[in-house]
Amino acid sequence: MTKLTKTQKSRKRKKPDSRSSPSWKKANVGVSSSNGSEPFPDFSGPSPDECRAVRDDLLALHGFPKEFIKYRNQRSLSPIGHEDDDDDDDISGTDSCKESVLDGLISTILSQNTTEVNSHKAFASLKSSFPTWESVLAADAKLVEDTIRCGGLAPTKTSCIKGILSSLFQKKGNLCLEYLRELSIEEIKRELSCFRGIGPKTVACVLMFHLQRDDFPVDTHVFQIAKTLRWVPTAADVKKTYLHLNRRIPDELKFDLNCLIYTHGKVCRECSGKGSDKPKKEHCDKLCPLLRQSSNAI
């Protein structure tokens, strides 16, 4: 039998398509527009003008949400809304000038499936109980669970947090994610998607809030309102909605629009899908500018 040369062996190893591997699929869970995918090629909305109109309507209705001002101040965006307000919502360990990327990731995990008040309490409790992330990694899981129990799902969140810290230490030799600031958006998505339990919404939140990148997280509120506005087809799921909106919404509007839609979704029971199946249009039209926009789009 003829022996393979070194060149032939090298070629033989490179033959399989890397896209078929599980690691490729996992790395691309959160990848958006630049990978060439187009979830709804025949669906052109929303237009930049539509996005701007919704932003302006919600800003006039709610003002800019105070809870997001400290994150907005870190971005190069034109002044908007209540920029002069003092930020009374800061908690221990979340100073906007000192917050690390790892702090941001952990706080995002703690915010899942709970209220903002409870997630803030859980994060503050975690930071006050453990001086460093190294001490969280070394601590007994039960102790960490007790510390963050006020945020709900303590066992699940503890497992996720300790898993991230363990994986990060094995990979980098330290517990620091500041290197992500030097990477592209797609590189950041691949890095964060490697951690077990980190999905596209968490990645997008870290990108938008803690790395000051232009991304558009899709949570329940954003997803429902995108459907109300007919910005995505009726059959759209969350993942395709995320891909589509990140393609269509102008980068300079993503942060403000996302914060405003999220805020509106919490208070408007009709357009967020929490109201009756047949809302009273004459009542909702006076209170909710988005319902007027959706009716005009028919």
From the centroid of its chain, how far is CA 72? Answer: 15
Q: In whole angstroms, give the CA distance from residue 284 to residue 296.
A: 14
With beta carbons less than 8 A apart as the criterion, state whether 123 and 93 touch.
yes
**225: how many CB neighbours lie within 10 A of its CB?**
22
Catalytic center residues: 201
Exposure pattern of 277-288 as b/e (b: 16+ CB <10 Å)?
eeeeeeebeeeb
3-state secondary structure (DSSP) of residue 65: coil
Contacts of 34-42 with CB under 8 Å at 24 or more apart are: 34/185, 34/186, 35/186, 37/243, 38/247, 39/236, 39/240, 39/243, 39/244, 40/232, 40/233, 40/236, 40/240, 40/244
Q: Give the span between the Cα atoms of 81 and 98, in whole angstroms.
A: 24
Please calculate the CA angle 21-199-192 and round it to the nearest 5 degrees. 70
Which tokens go with 277? Answer: 């199946």
